[in-house]
Amino acid sequence: MLTECKQPFLLSTKNRSVRAPMECASDGIAQQSCRGQIRPRVKITVGTRYLVAGGAMIRNNLIYIVTFVLTIFNGCQSTVPEFNSDRAFGFLEQQCDFGPRNPGSTGYYQCRDFLIGELQANADTVIQQHFQLTDPISGEEYQLTNLIGRFNPAAAKRLLLGAHWDTRPWADHDPDVTRRMEPILGANDGASGVAVLLELVRLMKLKPPPIGVEIVFFDGEDLGQSGDPRSYARGSLAFASDLPIPKPDEAIIIDMIGDADLSIPVERYSMQQNPTLVRELWGLARELDLPAFENRVANSIFDDHIPLWEQAQIPAVDLIDFFYPNRYMNFWHTHQDLPQNCSPVSLGQVGTLLTYYIYKDSG
């Protein structure tokens, strides 16, 4: 339970309090990562106990006890729940255990049922949006499904959080030309964003968010042809062309955020579509000491945030690390897109940011 208090330390950030997990050895100075958990820069505010004689001793012990009790009380009232990076990584592995999830594959149907089950167990409302897509080159017909889980849908402010759940049917950037027609596993390109959202889904069941949150697992993001950006992001196009929910105020898309060497500069279209949200997110990342978020604008990527803006005027931001693993090597759309090239710490950085963004105004 979120209200369960295990640790008698009140840890405070600049303007909010969080509980430190029991297993964290807090040095109180910098960002901590324990068992994959990200905790913001913290300062221990519990007073030091010292011994003095007579009445002074009783008075000081009393002060100590009162401080201790208040600290436990405050610690139990943590307003922002803890994003569990290891559990998120487990969700990444669970998706990969289904095998490639390209439309029509066995793994695709198994993963779709798993995601529906997770949403039905946790969300207030679940919607399946079915749509069709014909591959212009092969002529193949795909039956695709966007999955939507709604939390606190009656709230005045509603945020859409999206990630694509399909994986690419081809490894068209693989160095081994003989394996380029085989589907990729998509640990980073597919599973990573969904994994973070699944952990948020679990948290929001335990502690309902103060704002409305629409979780959307987009299908058909990765059926595009290399060199034709508009042939990607078909699930978000179907969603935004025929909104199955009232229009959200803003959106955050997460894609390829599992890279063990995570670097998330500001994506250029995101800056054009929603500069206010960009400043708020990167500002919060700085406050929380999340080093993956870089204060520079780079890359223009046709991802699921584009149709949201173009079709439905939902101002959307894309959190994406396009260079996987880095500028000098490429695992993107190759058979190296595997869990071992991803990290729970990376999922934790993005998950922690989103958790704070969702719960920042909770009482």
The window from 47-55, 142-150, 188-196, 267-275 that contacts Zn ion (CB under 5 A) reads: 188-196
Closest CB 352 distance from Zn ion, rounded Å? 25
What's the rounded Cα separation, in Å, for the pair 334 and 7? 44
The residue within the footprint of ligand 1BN, chosen from 166, 214, 259, 303 (CB under 6 A), is: 303
Give, as one character, the DSSP assignment of residue 170.
Answer: -
Write the interaction track for ligand 1BN spanning residues 221-250; mark x where CB under 6 A is met and - where it is not: -x-x----x--x------------------
Amino acid symbol at 117: G
Give, as one character, the DSSP assignment of residue 46.
Answer: P
Sequence-distant (6+) residues with CB within 8 A of 121 are 205
Closest CB 227 distance from Zn ion, rounded Å? 14
The residue within the footprint of Zn ion, chosen from 82, 174, 189, 267 (CB under 5 A), is: 189
Q: Identify what 158 binds: Zn ion, ligand 1BN, none; CB under 5 to 8 Å per kind.
A: none
The window from 70-78, 122-130, 215-223, 316-324 that contacts Zn ion (CB under 5 A) reads: 215-223
* 348 backbone dihedrals φ, ψ, rounded to 5°: -65, -35
Compute CA 85 distance to the chain's CA centroid, rounded to the nearest angstrom: 10
Half-sphere exposure of residue 19: CA atoms within 13 angstroms, side-chain side: 23
* 154 backbone dihedrals φ, ψ, rounded to 5°: -85, -5
The residue within the footprint of ligand 1BN, chosen from 294, 302, 311, 360 (CB under 6 A), is: 302
What's the rounded Cα separation, in Å, for the pair 277 and 284? 10
Sequence-distant (6+) residues with CB within 8 A of 237 are 307, 311
Q: Segment 147-176, which members bind Zn ion (CB under 5 A)?
A: 168
What's the rounded Cα separation, in Å, for the pair 246 and 294? 33
If one asks whether residue 189 binds ligand 1BN (CB under 6 A), the answer comes out as yes
If one asks whether residue 330 binds ligand 1BN (CB under 6 A), the answer comes out as no
Q: Identify what 301 binds: Zn ion, ligand 1BN, none; CB under 5 to 8 Å per kind.
A: ligand 1BN
* 222 backbone dihedrals φ, ψ, rounded to 5°: -110, 35
Q: Identify what 259 binds: ligand 1BN, Zn ion, none; CB under 5 to 8 Å per kind.
A: none
Q: Identify what 255 binds: Zn ion, ligand 1BN, none; CB under 5 to 8 Å per kind.
A: ligand 1BN
Contact, 212 vs 148, CB < 8 A?
A: no
If one asks whether residue 20 binds ligand 1BN (CB under 6 A), the answer comes out as no
Element (H, E) at 45: none
Q: Which two tokens stand for residue 43?
A: 């300062």
If one asks whether residue 222 binds Zn ion (CB under 5 A), the answer comes out as yes
* Helices within 24-164 (DSSP H only): 54-76, 85-97, 106-122
Closest CB 232 distance from Zn ion, rounded Å? 8
- Of residues 39 and 168, the one with the C-beta less far from Zn ion: 168
If one asks whether residue 269 binds ligand 1BN (CB under 6 A), the answer comes out as no
Residues that bind Zn ion (CB under 5 A): 168, 189, 222
Residues that bind ligand 1BN (CB under 6 A): 189, 222, 224, 229, 232, 255-256, 301-303
